[in-house]
Structure formats: C-alpha cells, structure tokens
Structure 1
Amino acid sequence: MKARVLGAGVAGLCVATELVARGCEVTVFDPAPRPGPHGCSWWAGGMLAPVCEGETAEEPVVRLGRQAADWWDRQGVPVARRGTIVMALGRDRRELDRFARHTRGHEWLDADGLAALEPDLSGRFDRALHVPSEAHLDPRTALAHLRDRVERDGVTFIAEPGRPEGLTFDCRGLAAREALPDLRGVKGEMAVLRSDDIRLSRPVRLLHPRIPLYVVPRADGLFMLGATQIESDDRRRSVRSVLELLSAAYALHPAFGEADLVEIGADARPAFPDNLPRVTRRGDTFHVNGLFRHGFLLAPALARMAAEAAFDGTTPELCHEDHA
C-alpha cells in the first residue's frame, strides 16, 4: 500500500514511522527539507510528563501520554527517565498544594530530599514534589533522528507542500485550517540559556498563579525555558513574555541571571476547542492534528490510531468522522 504524509513535524514523522512499520510505501511532503525553526515542533520543551499535564488536561492525555517514553525509546531517540521536580516560591506555596491535589503519582520531598536529587537547588526550597515516572528528550534531536530513520527505511521526502491523493495523512498543523475550521492557534514562547554555573538532571516546574515556568536541561549546559500559553496565532516574540520567563528563571536560581541568552523563539500550536488532538477522516484522507502543547507526548499514540484506522478499519479513540 502507498500513502502520502503532508507535513514533517512531530505528527507527520510519527505517522510515517507507524506506516513504515506496517510495510507501507510512504512519501512525505513538506516545503522545508529538514526539521527547523519553521515548525512549531522545533520550539517544544520535550517533556514527556503526563502526570504533570494531568493537572489541567483531560484523562486521555495522561493515559495515552504514559506510552510516549517507551515509543521514543523504541525509535532509538535518547530519553532521560529521571522524573520531574515541581516547586513553588514561598509566596505561592498554595499552588504546590493545589497541584498535589489535582495529580497522582508524585512523592513529597523535604529540603534534604530535594538536595539529594538536585544538589544545585540545595537550600533554596524546603519542599517540592517529585514525579519519578516522567521523562524528557531533546525535541530537535528527536526530529532529526526520526527523519533520518524513516528515510533509511525507504520513506521519500519531497520539498513541496503536497496535496491529498489516494491514502493521505494530513499532519500540517495550522496550515490545515481550510479543512479543519475549528482549529485554532495557541502561541507559545521559549528561551534557551547556557550556564556553566548550575546543573539540573531533570525538568523543573516552578508553579505560579499567572506565569508558571518549566526549565528543561539539555546537553552542553543548555536550558530551555518555557511556559507561555496565549490564545493567538501571532508568532512574534514579545518583550513581556521573555521578561517573565527570565524573571521566573532567576527566582528559581540566581545563576540564571548570569547565563548566556542563546535563543528566543515563538510559534503557534494547533488546538481544537477541547484541547484534545484528533484523527479526522474525510474520504481517503486522515487529518492528524490538534496536538496543542502535547506534541511529543501524544503524537506517537495519535499516529498509531491513524495507522490502525487506515490499515485495520478501527475507529480511533480520539476521532471525528467527517462525511463532507
């Protein structure tokens, strides 16, 4: 069987991977020849954190997200399984209690327990939560690895937008809004810092009633800062958001005040009104979209659902039948 995939972001590459595994001959169409800053997948945090997302997300995000780390592992992508630390500043201690009430699968840490896991945070916080089951990866490494892998497996990449023809999987994100009118953009902004003065082994979430922050460690002393979630298709980088990110990072540890500011980025993530992704079938075309802020967490499960729907005739758990 032949299939074409439109879009080579995290959704498109995951779909191509699932199709190849089923013996399908796959062609991927994307105007850009390689993963890069043109796609919102490039700006992701890479946290495989279904428990933490369960604070606000629906149940399927938590349940399906638990499969993500194993899936990325099977593809040969480096996955760090060291859990997540969740903390709050003294004035926001109630946020930590609220977070604990709305999530499961965490353990409380006192100051000594936190220092044992993250020595560079020693003496700065007297309590925290540790979610040991969670993991993280470097999204840019994951995208490059997945593209190279499927190309070795025979997938053809064509640097053109492409169009539906025969069995098609449309994974274009917001570019597919002409076919998915209820899709909307949710802006996210991030910054990358480099510091030799602080070491973190796992992602840290700093709770705040207005601007929560997450810090994700990457190789070579790099840290990705993110948190903003703005109802907008605007991809411009705002001074206010960057200031808030950097101020929160400084509050987490003053060493971030001396860090090098390596990169600032912003993009709009595709989301449906309920913030859940879905597979929408329209004839021979399967739209795989709406991953919101859960791209690397839910793309593997959504890709599997789409492939099973096409090959086995199953109805995806997250689906929408469109007979237009």
Structure 2
Amino acid sequence: MTRATVIGAGVAGLCVATELVARGHDVTVCDPSPRPGPHGCSWWAGGMLAPFCEGESAEEPVIRLGQEAADWWAAQGVEVQRRGTLVLTLGRDRRELDRFARRTAEHVTQDANGIAELEPDLDGRFERALLFPGEAHLDPRAALTCLRDRLEAAGVRFRAERGTPEGLTFDCRGLSARDRLSDLRGVKGEMAVLRSHDIRLSRPVRLLHPRYPLYIVPRADGLFMLGATQIESEDRRRSVRSVLELLSAAYALHPAFGEAELVEIGADARPAFPDNLPRVRRRGDTFHVNGLFRHGFLLAPALAKMAVAAACDGTTAEFMDEDHD
C-alpha cells in the first residue's frame, strides 16, 4: 500500500484524498483546522453544479468537465438535488436574458406559466426565463462534512501538523500556496445566508442584472444562500456595499426576502490563476492542485482525478503544467 500525503482539507484536498483512497493508498491529510468550517474558502461556496450557466463566461473545459460533478458527488454519498437552474431577469433588463441565452447552451425558454409551474412562489413576477434542466446543486458544508467523515471511516488520518510528507504529496492549500505558486491570486467573494418560511424555491435561481447579478440557492430549514460578489481583491472584510447589493437583488426577486432573517454574512478569497482555470502543477515530488476560482465544487472532482492519475500513472493532466518559478 503506497503512502500519500494531502496538504489542505478544503474541497480540493478532500476530493484528492477520496480519489487516493479509491486506489487503495494509505492517506494522511494535514491541515491546521482539519474539520470543515468558516476558516476555509470552501465553506462559503454556493454549491451550484451548473456547468452550462458557467458557460456564459467560463472556458470550454469548465463546461465539459463540470458535467461530471453531480454524479461524482452523489457517488460519495452526498445529497445532490437535480432540479436544474432557473435564470431570470427583471423586465427592464430583459436584454441580459437574451445575451445569457446566446452565450450558453442546454436551456429551455419558459414563459410566465412555465415559471409559475416550476416555482409557484414566483407566479406573476416574471414573464420569461431560461431553465437549465441538466444542472444540480448541493449544500457545500454538508458535502465537506460527508467527505471528511467517509475518509476518516476509511482509515484516513487527519492531523493539524504538517510535519514531513510521506509518499506521494499533494499540496491543496488554496491561496496559502502562494509561497510556492507565485502566479496565484485571490478573488474576493461575499455571500449572505437568509432564513424565510414565507417563500419556497426548489432550485437555484439566478437573477441577471447589469451591475450586480445574484444567485439564490435553497437549503434546508428555510435557508437561502445569496451570492456572490467577484472582486479582484484578497481583502476578506465584509463590505456594506456588497451586502446591500445582494439583499436588494433578493428583494427584487421577491419582496418576502425583505422580511427574512439575516443569518450570516461571509467573505473569503478564492484562489485563481491568471486565466481563471485550475492547474495541476508538479514541483519536484509535490503535485500542486489549485486555482479552482469560483468553480470549487464543480471542478474539484475532475481536477482530483487528473492529479491522482498524473501522480500514480504518469499521465499528463489536461490542466497540468510545469513549474514557472
């Protein structure tokens, strides 16, 4: 049994550890805070497995590889909701919906009746929408906890001290890996969690807007995740302006959100390379798995498979490059 060390217990590290266990490796995961929590960027994710919607601005590999994510997460015992994504716009911004439709694929146009059938609580509020039926979503916090618990049950050791890595080594530290990856940068994302029992949504809803587009992801117990800003900054402070924009957009989607409980506000910096595509980068005996940008839960499974195959089989990953430093 080959030993392997994974440094970092965020979504990338846990996915890599899962792929290693599937190959029969003896795995140790090192992280100062080895339990999932607000210290990690993955904690603040939306959990949308929406490769076709991401095609509005992302490169082709994101769309193609992201289509594997829902099946991978479900295979790990994570609860995956496969109800698609609904994309809407206010009447004055209908050109945004046309533009979104031109730049994406695998969607079906819905009229007012179709919207009401899909989401009864939005009845009468919108005239037209796009439904992406092949998309899905999950609760990121539940997914991280599920992976962590399954790995521990499989015999994976979790420790806070890094020590000396043993065997195959995978560095999945996100933005903390800038000490080894000089071209990594942080992209700030802010989000809010609301609780309301006055409105129900059964799938993620994206509200397009020229200045501050919004997505709302339903979770259990009347919770809704609102996200997310995208700011070229590593500042993790929660700004009043961003929160006001998120809450204003939610209120525009449905006034019931005006009476919702504001449960949580969060911010973190996502790790990204200059082209916003991830990388598997080898430096000596270490494989760096990083740069997931805003596609953590969407691309981490595919990237983990590539990294483990590169380390174990000597294959060349699609996103693999040599160290530039």
Q: How does 1:263-282 map to 2 (within 5 A)?
A: 263-282=264-283
Cα distance in 1 for residues equivalent to 2:5 and 2:165: 8
By how many angstroms is 1:284 displaced?
A: 1.2
1:45 matched residue in structure 2: 46
Alignment gaps of 5+ in structure 2: none
Q: How does 1:54-93 map to 2 (within 5 A)?
A: 54-93=55-94
1:307 matched residue in structure 2: 308
Cα distance in 1 for residues equivalent to 2:324 and 2:179: 16
Specify the SS of the correspondent of 1:228.
Answer: coil
By how many angstroms is 1:33 displaced?
A: 3.2
1:260 matched residue in structure 2: 261
By how many angstroms is 1:166 displaced?
A: 3.9
Cα distance in 2 for residues equivalent to 1:189 and 1:271: 16
Residue 30 of structure 1 contacts residue 162 of structure 1 at CA under 8 Å; is this kept in 2?
Answer: no
Residue 64 of structure 1 contacts residue 298 of structure 1 at CA under 8 Å; is this kept in 2?
Answer: yes
1:212 aligns with 2:244: no
Specify the SS of the correspondent of 1:169.
Answer: strand
> Higher mean Cα deviation, 274-283 or 156-165?
156-165
Residue 17 of structure 1 contacts residue 150 of structure 1 at CA under 8 Å; is this kept in 2?
Answer: yes
2:323 matched residue in structure 1: 322
Specify the SS of the correspondent of 1:64.
Answer: helix
Read off the aligned partner of 1:129 and give its amino acid letter: L
Cα distance in 2 for residues equivalent to 1:126 and 1:22: 50
2:195 matched residue in structure 1: 194
Provide TM-score, normalisation by structure 2. 0.98
Cα distance in 1 for residues equivalent to 2:193 and 2:67: 27
Read off the aligned partner of 1:204 and give its amino acid letter: V
Residue 9 of structure 2 contacts residue 34 of structure 2 at CA under 8 Å; is this kept in 1?
Answer: no
Cα distance in 2 for residues equivalent to 1:160 and 1:31: 6
Structure 1 residues 189, 163: CA separation in 2 closer, same or farther (over 3 Å shift)? farther
Read off the aligned partner of 1:23 and give its amino acid letter: G
Residue 69 of structure 2 contacts residue 302 of structure 2 at CA under 8 Å; is this kept in 1?
Answer: yes
Cα distance in 1 for residues equivalent to 2:49 and 2:247: 23
Cα distance in 1 for residues equivalent to 2:321 and 2:103: 29
1:18 aligns with 2:19: yes
Q: Alpha carbon RMSD of aligned pairs, Å?
A: 1.0
Residue 7 of structure 2 contacts residue 172 of structure 2 at CA under 8 Å; is this kept in 1?
Answer: yes
Specify the SS of the correspondent of 1:78.
Answer: coil
By how many angstroms is 1:210 displaced?
A: 1.3
Residue 6 of structure 1 contacts residue 162 of structure 1 at CA under 8 Å; is this kept in 2?
Answer: no
By how many angstroms is 1:322 displaced?
A: 2.1
Structure 1 residues 93, 104: CA separation in 2 closer, same or farther (over 3 Å shift)? same
* Corresponding residue pairs, total: 324
> Higher mean Cα deviation, 242-251 or 158-167?
158-167
Read off the aligned partner of 1:21 and give its amino acid letter: A
1:174 matched residue in structure 2: 175
Read off the aligned partner of 2:315 and give its amino acid letter: T
1:102 matched residue in structure 2: 103
By how many angstroms is 1:227 displaced?
A: 2.2
Specify the SS of the correspondent of 1:177.
Answer: helix
Residue 250 of structure 1 contacts residue 257 of structure 1 at CA under 8 Å; is this kept in 2?
Answer: yes
1:238 aligns with 2:239: yes
Specify the SS of the correspondent of 1:267.
Answer: strand
2:122 matched residue in structure 1: 121
Deviations 1:109-168 (A, max 9, x none): 000000000000000001100000000000000000000001111110001245555421
Provide TM-score, normalisation by structure 1. 0.99
Specify the SS of the correspondent of 1:264.
Answer: strand
Residue 169 of structure 1 contacts residue 288 of structure 1 at CA under 8 Å; is this kept in 2?
Answer: yes
Residue 214 of structure 1 contacts residue 225 of structure 1 at CA under 8 Å; is this kept in 2?
Answer: yes
Q: How does 1:282-301 map to 2 (within 5 A)?
A: 282-301=283-302
By how many angstroms is 1:320 displaced?
A: 1.1
Read off the aligned partner of 2:94 and give its amino acid letter: R
Cα distance in 2 for residues equivalent to 1:177 and 1:183: 6
Cα distance in 1 for residues equivalent to 2:23 and 2:38: 30
Cα distance in 2 for residues equivalent to 1:252 and 1:226: 13
Alignment gaps of 5+ in structure 1: none
Read off the aligned partner of 2:59 and give its amino acid letter: E
Structure 1 residues 271, 323: CA separation in 2 closer, same or farther (over 3 Å shift)? closer
1:203 matched residue in structure 2: 204
Cα distance in 2 for residues equivalent to 1:9 and 1:276: 18
Cα distance in 1 for residues equivalent to 2:219 and 2:321: 37
Structure 1 residues 323, 55: CA separation in 2 closer, same or farther (over 3 Å shift)? closer
Percent of paired sites with the same residue: 81
2:150 matched residue in structure 1: 149
Cα distance in 2 for residues equivalent to 1:228 and 1:290: 18
1:249 matched residue in structure 2: 250
Read off the aligned partner of 2:139 and give its amino acid letter: D
